[in-house]
Structure 1
């Protein structure tokens, strides 16, 4: 049994739990106003934000080298590529820039090397509106990755963490003001678990919403009971025990299965769309789904990070989760369908035009 309703101008489909997926109780994670009481979890319900919504990102910064080729080479094969370029990356950096471009005031906590890669990354992050007061410069080289983008827009990458390995609990302990002054703390799995756990504890003590993008796919040690909202893609959801995903319905089932890891779980299912389950998913149903927007794919690299960053920006502005999901879903679709050179200019106005056009059909 399901219900279908409109949230502002788009469709969000809500699903009541089946006997197989039933609700596991109402986990903590919702309060009222800007902060809830210490230890009660972050506020994912709408409230009044009287200043620019703030997001604090603790995570990785990489210098990404992109190579375009017709396909991925086999073992032992030398393949001639078509082009290469560099872009700022790391899940932390990508999500921080996305959150800033979608309206949030963003503070980044991380590490860069004392090298040209680090200098270029600082320049690009600053230009995107990301605060870097808590980004340390260390002696180890900056993190970097090499990604091969195929003709159909899919890609594969190799990441070298470099300076990101220097993000530790001592650095996090010195950044309590950046975390405490935010509405949302955004974490990923590209830095040490101890640093993530230290940041989450500070956020929980201040009543700040904690979002974990569990990529690479693992359940980090020390985060039990500290994550309000978990975001994973279909592959990551399967690896974490959510079962096989082949569309939105199975993504919704996976989201319910993963509620042992967070109060609310979001599973992005690529071209199918997005599914969510848990305390903030819907007011009268256990799961909801948002279909993807049909777009011509330019390149999928970074789309997941745009989704997470845009979602964090909307939630920091006290937008209800169903509407924040619709917005983030649209932001990711625009990213996928826009050539690399034009993506930096995408922002809230573009997403609203996309959503308005869909609602008008």
Structure 2
């Protein structure tokens, strides 16, 4: 049986437009296209883990609007256990995304029903957490809910992964003791550590700060420059596969989901990071959030250029 990955997090409908470039403050641009795509960092990571070989359960909330049913159905179509995805009165979460011609994006999220995922609601589905091998969290749901999930994961002896996104400053100091793997990108690592991460060397400085803060193991994703792994004993820089990027939306989520799936299956940390990197590289060659996430077959068939 595949190992169980449980994702505690957000489900958003992504409202995506493409434009030649990102607009400046106060500026109106003519867009090139528009689409609605199932997303949300939690749901994206759940889909990535499922497509990449894990048995996955999702814990989250959707609204009573049309988006809510669509978001839940998108997970069910991937074979994800949605018994702990609850419907609450009101609107579902949405993300407003602009993607430019260089495949960079700017995103604004509105929590909607994601704000209704409370510690009390997690207690009602504690059996789902108990069945996990790996628990994955992000920061698109209330902080006290993440706090509960991290603590409960540690109490249960599970492998706990936190992707600290979105984040604007340091994490609560007591969280670190409950996290096995902290996985920020460059901007998130900068916000967490107070160190501007714009190179491999500055990433090492930031990772050292996070280790000193209490993080056991840190993986800073560096986009096309790969990933930096730090564990307090040293660093390992793992280069990213070279691909032609079309859209970077959900690349980080694909990495986290792939890493979780590989780690749950018994792969080593280095193997799991490389697996996540290949999955993320494949995702940026396709448009959209969940539509861009590759399958296990895609990753196994990947041939570096």
The secondary structure found in structure 2 opposite 1:240 is helix
**Aligned pairs (5 A) from 1:127-138:** 127-138=77-88
Over the aligned positions, Cα root-mean-square deviation in angstroms equals: 1.8
Are the structure 2 counterparts of residues 144 and 58 from structure 1 closer, same or farther at C-alpha, using a change threshold of 3 Å? same
Aligned equivalent of 1:152, options 64, 89, 102: 102
Give the Cα–Cα distance (whole angstroms) in 1 for the partners of residues 140 and 269 of structure 2: 25
**Aligned pairs (5 A) from 1:45-124:** 51-124=1-74
Greater C-alpha radius of gyration: 1
Deviation by residue 1:23-74 (Cα, 9 ceiling, x = unmatched)? xxxxxxxxxxxxxxxxxxxxxxxxxxxx211111111110110001111222
TM-score normalised to the size of structure 1?
Answer: 0.80
**Aligned pairs (5 A) from 1:228-247:** 228-241=180-193, 243-247=195-199
Give the Cα–Cα distance (whole angstroms) in 2 for the partners of residues 219 and 227 of structure 1: 14
Q: Does 1:198 align with 2:151?
A: no
Give the Cα–Cα distance (whole angstroms) in 2 for the partners of residues 72 and 161 of structure 1: 23
TM-score normalised to the size of structure 2?
Answer: 0.94
Deviation by residue 1:294-326 (Cα, 9 ceiling, x = unmatched)? 111110011000000111111111211000001
Asked whether the 8 Å contact 2:284–2:292 carries over to 1, the reply is no
Give the Cα–Cα distance (whole angstroms) in 2 for the partners of residues 148 and 163 of structure 1: 22
Q: Does 1:300 align with 2:248?
A: yes
Give the Cα–Cα distance (whole angstroms) in 1 for the partners of residues 292 and 195 of structure 2: 36
Give the Cα–Cα distance (whole angstroms) in 2 for the partners of residues 330 and 353 of structure 1: 10
1:277 corresponding residue in structure 2: 230
Give the CA deviation at 1:253: 3.3
Asked whether the 8 Å contact 1:311–1:327 carries over to 2, the reply is yes
Aligned equivalent of 1:320, options 268, 292, 301: 268
Give the Cα–Cα distance (whole angstroms) in 2 for the partners of residues 194 and 81 of structure 1: 38
Asked whether the 8 Å contact 2:9–2:138 carries over to 1, the reply is yes
Q: Does 1:268 align with 2:268?
A: no
Give the Cα–Cα distance (whole angstroms) in 2 for the partners of residues 204 and 89 of structure 1: 28
Give the CA deviation at 1:216: 1.2
- Which ranges of structure 1 fall in alignment gaps of 5 or more residues? 1-50, 280-284
1:29 corresponding residue in structure 2: none
Are the structure 2 counterparts of residues 166 and 220 from structure 1 closer, same or farther at C-alpha, using a change threshold of 3 Å? farther
- Which ranges of structure 2 fall in alignment gaps of 5 or more residues? none
The secondary structure found in structure 1 opposite 2:137 is strand
Give the Cα–Cα distance (whole angstroms) in 1 for the partners of residues 239 and 16 of structure 2: 29
Aligned equivalent of 1:256, options 188, 208, 211: 208
Asked whether the 8 Å contact 1:96–1:106 carries over to 2, the reply is yes
Give the Cα–Cα distance (whole angstroms) in 2 for the partners of residues 349 and 242 of structure 1: 40
The secondary structure found in structure 2 opposite 1:232 is coil
More helix by share: 2
Q: Does 1:177 align with 2:127?
A: yes
The secondary structure found in structure 1 opposite 2:301 is helix
1:163 corresponding residue in structure 2: 113
**Aligned pairs (5 A) from 1:336-351:** 336-340=284-288, 343=291, 346-351=294-299
Give the Cα–Cα distance (whole angstroms) in 1 for the partners of residues 290 and 64 of structure 2: 30
Asked whether the 8 Å contact 1:254–1:267 carries over to 2, the reply is no
Aligned equivalent of 1:311, options 259, 266, 274: 259
